[in-house]
Structure 1
Amino acid sequence: MTHSNDTAPPSDAKLFRNTDVMDPARSVALQVALGVPPSIVAGAELPPFFHQLYFWTPVPPDQLGRDGHPGLSKAGLIPDLGLPRRMWAGGRLLFEQPLKAGQEAEKCSVVERCETKMGRSGPLGFVTLRHDIHQQGQRCLREWHDLVYREDPSPEAPKPVPPQAREDEEEARQVRFDSTLLFRYSALTFNGHRIHYDLDYAREVEGYTGLVVHGPLLAQQLMLLAQELMGPLAEFSFRATAPLMHFEAATLCCRGRDLWVRAPDGRQCMQAQAVPRPSPGR
């Protein structure tokens, strides 16, 4: 999905502000969970996408939906579309200034798009959120966050056919996502979505064969790989194309600026593109 850098939200859109101190300990905890040597201290630059660990918006249990997410309402950021299943479909990030650990930051969020359409499997809701994160008076990050809402699957409905992943990668990394990692990532991002930790719910209610690996966790791994190979990032976009289960190993792939996640059976779970930050003097 493409977004204009200067797209204006609707005139009646609500703007939500949230502040948080980018606690180094939380970022170190994610490094440890991912098997990365802990290195973040106060004043250090945060790795790309680590802002997902901050700006929690907890709500009481009686305000949660059946899936563990905060219930939708006209009073909240996202209106109730009458569709119970939520998926993080993708997103795009513009990295303008590095975020620093140990410093306060402000996140401003607005709904840039909200509409429903009729798909082959029934009604679909499409929501795009835009987040701007500022630190010390400067905008450091602009992010677009694409969500899709849909009805519960019919047991008789045919399963969608996922795309097949490319096999022409120049770099490849094998990664695993067990239930412990999914639990830790859910806890660090304050994500209550039950498909990531409640196996009975994931299978019996939402029709998955196992726990679902978080889309943002796949994107996080691809961003870290892109930064390792290309250096600091200026832009990163990604789109989820098929779910990955907790019992499946995955291959992180990169060719040029293109990245993707390949499941053991060859299906593509995510595709992405990275743009490195220009070198000084260029």
Structure 2
Amino acid sequence: MDPARADALAVTLGRAERFAKGDPLPPFFHQVYFWDPVPADGLGRDGHPRTGTGLIPDMGLPRRMWAGGRLTFAAPLRAGVPAEKHSTVVSTQRKQGRTGPLAFVTLRHDIVQAGALCVREFQDLVYREDPDPDALAPAPRQAPADVNAEDVRFDSTLLFRYSALTFNGHRIHYDLDYAREVEGYPGLVTHGPLLAQFLMLKAARALGPLTAFSFRAVAPLGHTETATLCRDDQRLWARGPGGGLAMEADAEVGP
């Protein structure tokens, strides 16, 4: 786990620390490792690896979103030490939602270092139809009142750098025309895991080393918007500029 990648992520997130061999990595920094580059002819229209050709089955729906995740931290991953990631499909399911058919895929990722399991991550993905341009947008769910609040501003440079570090080709994060004209967003979309990363670091600063963390994306956050990150003990959330809830999360720490 090359320390230079962790350094680059720290710079991207506005953090001062740098990493040497053997240093523990902050929670969720493993997102910038374990790339699986796919040739261009293996990508879908959205820039992600085409479903049905690799780990994720073809669910017959074009729009992909990271809906949430759950992580347990048995031990910190350490910079400069070899690691392995083992990924499996836990479940797939199709449902009929209010706006049309939905498909859900849950992946499990086990990250092993020095022969021991360090991180287990469950990743929840949702697939949807293309948006109906005539449909009314649902009313946003309102966030709770601010507690222990801090603001984080997202812009296109931050989104681009995070996409590059995580080798995430999803065009909603950097291709404004695609995000608007194909997927129906008003602008570029902030990565769900990037927002979760900020919440995770906020939790770790206040509570100490995390043993578990879960998060759920509630509404998209645009690339020109400021998120207000809040924490009430082990409960966390991110509020968008209009007062809507963008993400909710729960942290756990050891005894």
- Band the TM-score falls in, shorter-chain normalisation: over 0.9
Matched residues in 2 for 1:41 and 1:158: separation? 51
What secondary structure does 1:229 align onto?
Answer: helix
Out of 9, 29, 46, which is 1:67 matched to?
46
User: TM-score under structure 2 normalisation?
Assistant: 0.99
* Superposed displacement of residue 275, structure 1: 0.5
Matched residues in 2 for 1:78 and 1:233: separation? 29
Structure 2 match to 1:160: 138
Structure 1 match to 2:206: 229
Matched residues in 2 for 1:168 and 1:217: separation? 20
1:53 and 2:51 matched: no
Matched residues in 1 for 2:209 and 2:180: separation? 39
1:37 and 2:16 matched: yes
Runs (4+) of structure 1 exceeding 6 A deviation are none
Matched residues in 2 for 1:146 and 1:161: separation? 23
Structure 1 match to 2:237: 260
- Write the letter of the residue equivalent to 1:92: R
Deviations 1:36-69 (A, max 9, x none): 0032111100000000000001110011000000
- Write the letter of the residue equivalent to 2:27: P
Out of 124, 139, 145, which is 2:117 matched to?
139
Structure 1 match to 2:166: 189
Out of 191, 195, 198, which is 1:214 matched to?
191
- Write the letter of the residue equivalent to 2:36: T
User: TM-score under structure 1 normalisation?
Assistant: 0.89
- Write the letter of the residue equivalent to 2:228: T
- Write the letter of the residue equivalent to 2:145: E
Out of 131, 151, 154, which is 1:177 matched to?
154
- Write the letter of the residue equivalent to 1:78: I
Matched residues in 1 for 2:134 and 2:122: separation? 35
Query: 2:153–2:227: 8 Å Cα contact kept in structure 1?
Result: yes
Query: 2:95–2:103: 8 Å Cα contact kept in structure 1?
Result: yes
* Superposed displacement of residue 161, structure 1: 2.0
- Write the letter of the residue equivalent to 1:133: I
What secondary structure does 2:102 align onto?
Answer: strand
Deviations 1:256-276 (A, max 9, x none): 111000011100000000011
Structure 2 match to 1:19: none
Matched residues in 2 for 1:238 and 1:40: separation? 26
Matched residues in 2 for 1:158 and 1:110: separation? 37
What secondary structure does 1:149 align onto?
Answer: strand
1:79 and 2:57 matched: yes
Out of 88, 96, 108, which is 1:130 matched to?
108
Out of 84, 90, 95, which is 2:73 matched to?
95
Matched residues in 1 for 2:143 and 2:154: separation? 19
Structure 1: gaps spanning 5 or more residues: 1-21
Matched residues in 1 for 2:244 and 2:81: separation? 41
Structure 2 match to 1:274: 251
1:28 and 2:2 matched: no
What secondary structure does 2:16 align onto?
Answer: coil
Matched residues in 2 for 1:115 and 1:35: separation? 38
- Write the letter of the residue equivalent to 1:172: A
What secondary structure does 2:68 align onto?
Answer: strand
Matched residues in 2 for 1:161 and 1:82: separation? 27
CA RMSD in angstroms comes to 0.8
What secondary structure does 1:146 align onto?
Answer: strand
Matched residues in 1 for 2:42 and 2:170: separation? 14
Structure 1 match to 2:128: 150
* Superposed displacement of residue 168, structure 1: 4.6
